[in-house]
Amino acid sequence: MRTVVHGKRPQIAASASVVGHRDVRLRVAHRPADVLQVTPGLYVAQHAGGGKANQYFLRGFDIDHGTDLALFVDGIPVNMVSHGHGQGYADLNWLIPETVQRMEVFKGPYYARYGDFATAGAINLVTKTRFAVNSITATGGMFETWRGVAALSPKIDGIKPLFAAEVYGTNGPFENRERLKRYSLLAKLTRVLDSGALLSVGATAYGSGWYASGQIPDRAVSAGTLDRFGTLDPTEGGNSQRFSLFGSYRRIGANADVALSAYLVQYRLTLYSNFTFFSRDAQNGDQIEQNDARWLFGLAGHYRFYRTLWGMRFDTTFGLQVRSDVIDNDLSYDRQRERLRTVVDASVLEASISLYARERITFTPWLAALLGVRGDYFGFSVDDHLEDRGSTGSKTSGVRQALRVSPKASLVFSPHRTTDIFANFGVGFHSNDARGVVLGQGTVSPLARAIGYELGARTQLFGRLAVSAAFFVMHLQSEIVWIGDEGRTEASGASRRLGGELSAKLQLLRWLSIDADVTLSDARFVDAPADQDRVPLAPRLLLRSGVSASHPWGIFGRLSLVHLAKRPANEDGSIEAKGFVRLDATVGYRHKRFAIEIAVQNALNTAWNEAQFATTSRLAGEAGPAACRGTRAVLESGRFVGCDDLHFTPGWPINVRASATLYL
């Protein structure tokens, strides 16, 4: 656990936790999604400029942009199905960190409330209903970085209002200036009705544009022909917009709880990338353009009631979730952002309806069981606007339906009032891209099954030390996935993930604490030969530790360390993603009228790789296999297509930012 949770312990799993605003704000938040990194065992990376969704790693999963991690904000799903860049694309760049009240973390597929993408886990970020005090914050830092935030909750009779606005810009440390600019807005009104029910409505708006340096080949940097912060295609980057309306109603009674919510999201992304440079097209280069435009709307509700029978306590929940995505996406081959040829052009309608039930039975004060089941029905419809697909002459148009039933079960044994022991089992799934599902009908699993097991314990000692430990096993079904960057399907065998987590937090003084967490995992393809069974980029060891202070005199700060160990970047381990150790720090002072803060990322100025991939690429001037010194040459039908090499996005060097906040 990251924090000591006051009140009744959340008896779900040893790996479940609730993280408060205080723990979030003490950490260096280089990007909005960095607030997630307070989660033990979770690492967040960026590899194509600050406007693209992050890359997530958790429990032996390279989750890419969200395929196996379900993200929510106030219960509204962030992951995008059948996205133009990748399945489950979860972009949190619109989030304003100051609005986050707490994070609810659920690892594994053990929770009936969460369905699609909740295999490695699910995280729900809950925003505030109002700010305790109005404020304006200005930030300036290295690499022409600037930020402004207004957080306002004016007094309105009978209503709790919240208004937040953020503007941000940076050029980053790259030779090809990032030129990132974004704005984010949140408006939220909450009212307590005469019945005691809570009614909330709100809206968000977000827009950004940026350039990116992409992932560069290690061989060019090692040879001295390319700087670590250089680029081979200065026109990479993109722009994105997101607008939403949402509302919720909740009534909590003595014996029942009713909740309803609805949301409407309009979203658009244009992304320019070049991963292989001149491998596919030696004359024009390999830049691709991906576009995704969609309307997303949904409803959710649950009814929860409590009763006591035969001396046992029953806590019953029935829930309903409905979602529909109306999508247009395409992929084209470009040269410096000018279209050459359209490869994918399709309209997708994807809808789902989900029912779930959960029963918590408290047999005695020291023994409880949680039983759950979830049913998900998906409909996929694809209209391919191209006359054909490549040389095959086939189209991806068609329809398909799929149903998945997912049972869940947990047992909680509490031998002491400060100690819980958990055993968890759950079946979950992630959906696959509608185009791959329709094109591969009969061979592609629309809803790829995951089966997870977990055994763990959590305890609090001496009122100061909180410790949790968990051992987990995850089996992921064989599947065929849609490769958004290429507009095709690719086979992936069944996999197994095995690992353990240990987290601890020691409250030395009321204002001073030490925390540490370590995650070890091993990810393997179960049907592959022993020398070809590594799951590429799956994290093996992630270690975090830190010291946090929040003194009554107003002084606050944190010193934190993160270590991600080296790991295989391809199936045979011949290419390795490099590990790193990074030290971050914050220090500040808060007065009732103002606050000042200095944040330092990468305080030791370590040369580290933020994101890494094993990629076959061809650079300008590489005419044949002789160019692949120290790397493996790749030929297809006798044609030289490039060198198999480690490609990376460099992590930022030492980065200092100063902020000043005025409380109004």
Average confidence (pLDDT) over 174-179: 96
- At 404, list the tokens: 């998945």
User: Is 9 contained in some domain?
Assistant: no
C-alpha 161/C-alpha 157 separation (Å) is: 10
Could you tell me the CA-to-CA distances from 507 to 418, 462, 556 in Å, in that order? Answer: 16, 10, 15
C-alpha 122/C-alpha 95 separation (Å) is: 17
Q: What is the pLDDT of residues 81-102, one digit of tens each?
A: 999 998 999 999 999 999 999 9
Pairing of strands 465-476, 447-461: antiparallel
Q: Return the pLDDT at 7.
A: 36
Average confidence (pLDDT) over 233-238: 96
Angle at 208 between CA 206 and CA 209, to 5 degrees: 165
Average confidence (pLDDT) over 134-143: 97
Q: Return the pLDDT at 187.
A: 98
Task: Please determine, for residue 461, whether its predicted confidence score (pLDDT) is greater than 60.
Answer: yes
Task: Please determine, for residue 499, whether its predicted confidence score (pLDDT) is greater than 50.
Answer: yes
Which of 11 and 232 is assigned the larger pLDDT? 232
User: Is 4 contained in some domain?
Assistant: no
User: Is 7 contained in some domain?
Assistant: no
CA 416 to chain centre: 35
Q: Return the pLDDT at 263.
A: 98
Average confidence (pLDDT) over 525-545: 93
Task: Please determine, for residue 228, whether its predicted confidence score (pLDDT) is greater than 70.
Answer: yes
Residue 89 near residue 71 (C-beta atoms within 8 A): no
Could you tell me the CA-to-CA distances from 447 to 372, 428, 438, 591 in Å, in that order? Answer: 19, 9, 13, 53
The overall average pLDDT reported for the chain is: 92
Q: What is the pLDDT of residues 378-402, one digit of tens each?
A: 999 999 998 655 544 456 789 999 9
Domain span including residue 282: 17-663
Q: What percentage of residues in the chain have a pLDDT greater than 90?
A: 83
Q: What is the pLDDT of residues 470-482, one digit of tens each?
A: 999 999 987 666 6
Q: How confident is the model at residue 196 (pLDDT cuts 50, 70, 90)?
A: confident
CA 42 to chain centre: 9
C-alpha 405/C-alpha 385 separation (Å) is: 34
Q: How confident is the model at residue 3 (pLDDT cuts 50, 70, 90)?
A: very low
User: Is 11 contained in some domain?
Assistant: no
List residues bridging with 481 in a β-sheet.
490
User: Is 2 contained in some domain?
Assistant: no
Pairing of strands 495-509, 512-525: antiparallel
Full-model pTM: 0.95
Number of domains in the chain: 1
Task: Please determine, for residue 163, whether its predicted confidence score (pLDDT) is greater than 70.
Answer: yes
Q: Return the pLDDT at 481.
A: 67
User: Is 521 contained in some domain?
Assistant: yes
Residue 214 near residue 273 (C-beta atoms within 8 A): yes
C-alpha 182/C-alpha 176 separation (Å) is: 18
- At 261, list the tokens: 């919510």
Q: Return the pLDDT at 31.
A: 87
Q: Return the pLDDT at 4.
A: 36
User: Is 628 contained in some domain?
Assistant: yes
Task: Find where tokens 């029953």 sit.
Answer: 314
Average confidence (pLDDT) over 290-301: 97
Q: What is the pLDDT of residues 595-648, one digit of tens each?
A: 999 999 999 999 999 999 999 999 999 999 999 988 999 999 999 999 999 999
Q: Return the pLDDT at 488.
A: 67
**Type of residue at 404:** R
User: Is 323 contained in some domain?
Assistant: yes
Average confidence (pLDDT) over 202-226: 96
* Number of separate helices (H) and strands (E) present in the chain: 3, 38
**Type of residue at 353:** I
Residue 85: how many other CB atoms lie within 10 Å: 24
Q: What percentage of residues in the chain have a pLDDT greater than 70?
A: 95
CATH code where residue 72 lies: 2.40.170.20
Backbone φ and ψ of 22, nearest 5°: -60, -45
Catalogue the E-assigned strands of 526-575.
Answer: 541-550, 555-564, 567-568
- At 401, list the tokens: 């339906």
Q: How confident is the model at residue 440 (pLDDT cuts 50, 70, 90)?
A: confident
- At 445, list the tokens: 């699993």
